[in-house]
Amino acid sequence: MTWSVLYMIVRGLVAGLVLLTRSDSAKEIEILVLRHEVAVLRRQITRVGYRNSISSVDLRWIGLEIS
């Protein structure tokens, strides 16, 4: 358990350092790519009809990804 907590802390620190060193344009590109992925997933949900099998928590998560 201590190794997993230590791993999570180190991983968070490394991720934070990576975000600090990224340029603003790289961050904007990542946001655009993620929004595109969410848009594609939304189209797949409505096309295939998975809407009934997705819980309200999942829909809220998708909504947070877009905003």
- Give the number of other CB atoms < 10 A from CB of residue 41: 13
Residue 50 has pLDDT above 70, yes or no: no
Residue 3 has pLDDT above 90, yes or no: no
Instruction: Locate 53 and state its tokens.
Output: 């099998």
What's residue 36's pLDDT?
93
How far is C-alpha 2 from the chain's CA centre?
27
- Residue extents of the structural domains in the chain: 23-67
Rounded to an integer, what distance in angstroms lies between the CA atom of residue 63 and that of residue 44? 15
Single pTM value for the model: 0.47
What's residue 54's pLDDT?
65
Could you tell me which of 47, 40, 44, 27 has the C-alpha nearest to residue 66? 40
Return phi, psi of residue 49, to 5°. 90, 30
Residue-wise pLDDT tens digits, 8-43: 999 999 988 888 888 888 889 989 999 999 998 888
